[in-house]
Structure 1
Amino acid sequence: MERTIVARTQKDPGSAQTPAEETSEAVTPSPRRRASSASLAKKDAAGAAPRKTGAARSRARKPVPSSATTAGPATNPLPVALPTLDPETAPGEKPARSHGLRNMSEIRHFFRTNRAPIFFLGASAFNLLGLDRWVRGFSYITYYDGWQGAHPRVFSPIHKPYIEFQSGEEINNWLLRHHEVRAHIARLTPAGERPRIAMVFFDAETEAICEELGYELILPSAALREHLDSKMVTTRIAESVGVPSVPHVITTAGSYEDLQEQATKAGLGSDLVVQTAYGDSGKTTYFVTDAASFAKHEDDIVGHELKVMKRINNRPIAVEAVLTRHGTIVGPFMTEITGHKDLTPYRGGWAGNEMFPDVLDERTRRTAARLVRTLGDRLGAEGYRGFFEVDVLLDTDTGDVYLGELNPRISGASAITNVTAGAYADIPLFLFHLLEYSGVEFDLDVDEINDRWEELAAADQWSHMIIKHTDATVEHIDVAPPTGRYVFDAYGRLAFSQGDLDWHLLGNESESFFLRIYGPGDYRWKGADLGILVTKGRLQTPTGRLSIRAKHLIESIRAMYAATPLPPAMEPSEPELIGTESTP
């Protein structure tokens, strides 16, 4: 369930413009076709596509509107404060500690007095937004800034020349090299400390950049993640420790007849799900029932190693976990919001998650948690440590639990994992990852933490949706809803309430937080991420359809956009600029 976002960069910055000038300026998109790499949302849930003119952004931070009923010009700004390192120890000093961290109280104190600057880089801050509430010195460096400079912990460079990014890795490498970003990191790094960098997508080039600049990339190696990202490798590793996958065969097929013959021999039937080794958001998952459906995807299937599975009736379940030196800590289980035409144009494409007490019954939850812990501990033998996400498939006919997919990275599901009752009782799940890479000694009773979090899971109901542009059009965005808190007014209409930094203070289902990705001056195309909506409560019915409330929220957000279609001659041919991905 991985998701990737590729970005279309913006126009060259020029002289500063007013908001009115921003929304009226249009730029002709390049006719070059973009290479598709998986929707970034779950992986980097907020797209890698470029945004509007850097010219319109001045170094003076723009305020976020504090009250309005519809999207419009900013009015009352949020209080803006530049990031500082509220020192609790004298400069150059480190808190004295004669022993390792022994309990949650000491771990919380460790992060509250942290001096090492930690930066999360990405197209947006979505995946780990809100962690700055817990970790002193934690901040975000992003390509898109939905707050227009008003978030005190989000930095986005001003100068952004037109670039056609092909992947999330390219965006992050571009950010790391940018002179404004390097100056920002240096400004927030105390003497004697080394900047620590986290991100969803990176590669060997990222590692080389960080090494040259003296940054510490606090993630497993790119080579190891690439190795584990293969569905074939994951399946074989899982099987080696008794973690089952849906009945399948790993093979190659030269034709439909060849595929059908092998599937029949393996007892898989004729209704098949075929996957290639790599791919996100359902883009490399093919449903093959006959020769015609095979022919539709023949170029993507023939000549590739395939995981050919029996098609089952299933509920996709997502869960995040952290492999520490003391074992695997498992987060809360969530259902996935996938394939709804109101949200995504991709069949089976990931578009969000829901967390609620009855995601799984007690027996199934224990089985699934054991599966995840077993897989996590096995990953340690491969040299892996830290954060990962697992897609679990629950067979609704038999009750069997299967491994669906492993995403060895930060996930889009983190958005709600980090606001659970367990997170507030102890610490957010991702902080266990930071602890593993902190260089300090610590002692954890992993069994006790997992048991407590399982009990606390019954207290939470959260959901989020990635809202994509689903029409086969390319349009220049003229007006877009601002980032912030939204409420239902007395007439049941969704209205902008005030600017806000994140969704941690949402109290009930009448409130939502919308994180805007593409705004005035950007382009939207089929599959582009418009933004991400987070709310309390469920957004799907028990039968898996979008609820009436969910559809009302989607329609209301879309109605706040106004865009001008581009003439056919100006449209890119078959635009595939990638939006979000889980594993925003």
Structure 2
Amino acid sequence: MDGWVGAWTGGRAAVHVGDVADFDAQFLAPGTDRARRLRRLRQAHHYACLAVGYSPEPAVLVLPAEVAPEWTDWLARELAWGPVEVHAGVAPDRTLAEALADRPALAARIADSDRPVVGWGRTAAQGEGPELAAVRRFESKAASHDLFAALAPEHPGIRLPHQERPDGRRRTARRLTARAVRGLTTVLKSPYGVGGHGTVVVEPADLFAAGGGGALLRRLVRTGDLPSDGLLLLEEYVDPGPAARLRDLTYDALVGPDGTVHPVGAGAMDVAGTRYRGVTVGPGAVPRGAAATARRFTLAVGERLAAEGYRGWYDVDFVTDRERRLAPTEINLRLTGPAVALMLRARLDRVRGPGHLVRTLDAMPLGARLGQGALHDHLERLRPRCARLGVTLLPLIPTAGREPEPTVGLALAGPDTEALDAAEALVAAAHHALAGIFEALR
């Protein structure tokens, strides 16, 4: 058994609790209005479908959104799971903790399952203590930057982006404008944010078009890209140059119950602007040198987290510069999209043999709005076409197909990046073609 699998669940099938919204709620800005809170809740509940991959094998799934049984049947067949007990539609319009407070029998089922229980991340529902304190501290992009600064001098291949913390919004606007006048692109960050929320890349042309730094900040608050008050961080934009293909990297690890840090693996992320869209993990997904540098630095971060009392999953995200050095940008003290890809890879390697690459695509656009039944049929038609390319198609997020901008979350598993690229192109074209099919039926 791999060291990290044993440290995570003891190699046993686990209870997976889809509490993404509960974790995210800890870091919402105090002034967030009701409409934005509900929109973020809905997005988090879609993302909580990734609970299928919180460990290599679930025994019980607790999901806030309603899902069709065909979805878990498909995954169980492909991943050789045993029976999976599914509790879905538990919390469609509130956090999971709030829902479980009104469902004591289900809460007791989770607590008394005699199995490992894994969720997205630590929340107050599991009790206060050093682990939660570490989460609250190092999820901050300011505190994580301070930790990176302490560690970077001992790690060749790591470069630290310069970060400023202006006092007040007016000072922030002036510093943002001064940087733009010098032709500098700036990464503007709220200290807390997930999935790209609260992070904006500001190019000089964007600032001047908005009418200056103050006007740009006001616009970003109106659109919900930034909180209405509180500290903002100005961080150097790291130019990837010709290394742009490997722009965004991540390395996952975990701190075991005894404080031992276990490496898990590297991934090449797909990030549009500042929004995470997916990742590729497995042999060759990240060049060996970059993966080794990321591993060493991430394990050093883990040692510091362990000393602070943290136990559980974490990752460090990096961007690459023109010299292929890695610039660390944040720590996520929780599960992540790349974590799910690594869980799927571990399971596939165990039941089918080693060597899988896994690519997750968290929000692929659909050309038409589809209910789960129609979406299942659409994907079922794609499954054999992917198989002919040597790629296994795994549906991960089936609940967002009825949104105004419909999407589906998928994983593709195959022998090499060429096969994954071909399967992704095939699937994307089929999704896009849905628009023409439904137009012809009008």
TM-score by length of 2: 0.69
CA distance in 2, matches of 1:412, 1:555: 23
Work out whether 1:258 is the aligned partner of 2:174. yes
Work out whether 1:550 is the aligned partner of 2:424. yes
8 Å CA contact 2:249–2:266 kept in 1: the answer is yes
CA distance in 1, matches of 2:389, 2:142: 42
Change (3 A) 1:554 1:408: same
CA distance in 2, matches of 1:540, 1:348: 26
**How much does 1:308 deviate?**
1.4
Map of 1:332 onto structure 2: 265
Change (3 A) 1:173 1:302: closer
Q: Which one of the candidate residues 299, 311, 317 is aligned to 1:385?
A: 311
Q: Which one of the candidate residues 474, 477, 482 is aligned to 2:376?
A: 482
Report Cα offsets for 1:34-82 as digits up to 9, x if no partner: 42786998xx7x616xxxxxxxxxxxxxxxxxxxxxxxxxxxxxxxxxx
Work out whether 1:465 is the aligned partner of 2:361. yes
TM alignment of 1:340-355, pairs within 5 A: 347-355=273-281
TM alignment of 1:398-417, pairs within 5 A: 398-417=323-342
TM alignment of 1:419-568, pairs within 5 A: 419-420=344-345, 459-469=355-365, 477=371, 479-482=373-376, 494-495=382-383, 509-518=390-399, 523-526=402-405, 530-536=408-414, 547=421, 549-557=423-431
Look up the SS of the partner of 1:494 in the other structure: helix
Report Cα offsets for 1:443-489 as digits up to 9, x if no partner: xxxxxxxxxxxxx99x4422111125589x9x684853229985xxx
Look up the SS of the partner of 1:413 in the other structure: helix
Map of 2:164 onto structure 1: 249
TM alignment of 1:87-102, pairs within 5 A: none
8 Å CA contact 2:285–2:417 kept in 1: the answer is no
Change (3 A) 1:349 1:481: same
Map of 1:292 onto structure 2: 209
Map of 1:67 onto structure 2: none
Unaligned runs of 5+ in 1: 8-31, 49-121, 133-137, 212-218, 340-346, 428-455, 487-492, 499-505, 566-584
Map of 1:197 onto structure 2: 117
Change (3 A) 1:221 1:4: same
Deviates more, 1:509-518 or 1:270-279: 509-518
Greater helix share, structure number: 2
CA distance in 2, matches of 1:176, 1:130: 28
Change (3 A) 1:407 1:523: same
**How much does 1:222 deviate?**
3.2
Report Cα offsets for 1:538-570 as digits up to 9, x if no partner: 6699xxxx94542321332465699999xxxxx
**How much does 1:250 deviate?**
2.7
Map of 1:273 onto structure 2: 187
Change (3 A) 1:258 1:497: closer
8 Å CA contact 1:463–1:534 kept in 2: the answer is yes
Report Cα offsets for 1:180-222 as digits up to 9, x if no partner: 5236447x63xxx5x6532114532x236xx9xxxxxxx9743
CA distance in 1, matches of 2:388, 2:60: 25
CA distance in 1, matches of 2:410, 2:250: 18
Change (3 A) 1:478 1:416: closer
Report Cα offsets for 1:123-146 as digits up to 9, x if no partner: 5533325324xxxxx432223434
Work out whether 1:311 is the aligned partner of 2:313. no
CA distance in 2, matches of 1:221, 1:563: 51
**How much does 1:349 deviate?**
1.2
8 Å CA contact 1:273–1:287 kept in 2: the answer is yes
CA distance in 1, matches of 2:388, 2:299: 32
**How much does 1:273 deviate?**
1.3
Map of 1:573 onto structure 2: none
Map of 2:37 onto structure 1: 35
8 Å CA contact 1:249–1:263 kept in 2: the answer is no
8 Å CA contact 1:516–1:532 kept in 2: the answer is yes
8 Å CA contact 1:220–1:384 kept in 2: the answer is yes
CA distance in 2, matches of 1:39, 1:246: 32
Work out whether 1:156 is the aligned partner of 2:84. no
Change (3 A) 1:517 1:415: same
Change (3 A) 1:560 1:6: farther
Look up the SS of the partner of 1:241 in the other structure: helix
**How much does 1:277 deviate?**
0.6
8 Å CA contact 2:389–2:423 kept in 1: the answer is no
Change (3 A) 1:532 1:181: farther
Report Cα offsets for 1:377-435 as digits up to 9, x if no partner: 1112221122111112221x12221212110011221223124479958x9xxxxxxxx
Look up the SS of the partner of 2:165 in the other structure: strand
8 Å CA contact 1:319–1:390 kept in 2: the answer is yes
- 1:535 aligned partner, one-letter code: A
TM alignment of 1:138-157, pairs within 5 A: 138-144=59-65, 145-148=67-70, 150=73, 152-157=83-88
- 1:246 aligned partner, one-letter code: P
- 1:292 aligned partner, one-letter code: A
CA distance in 2, matches of 1:296, 1:263: 14
Work out whether 1:207 is the aligned partner of 2:139. no
Look up the SS of the partner of 1:224 in the other structure: helix
Change (3 A) 1:518 1:130: same
Percent identity, aligned pairs only? 15
Change (3 A) 1:262 1:417: same
Change (3 A) 1:291 1:536: same
**How much does 1:231 deviate?**
0.6
Aligned residues: 375
- 1:524 aligned partner, one-letter code: E
Look up the SS of the partner of 1:480 in the other structure: helix
8 Å CA contact 2:160–2:328 kept in 1: the answer is yes
Work out whether 1:323 is the aligned partner of 2:255. yes
8 Å CA contact 2:267–2:282 kept in 1: the answer is yes
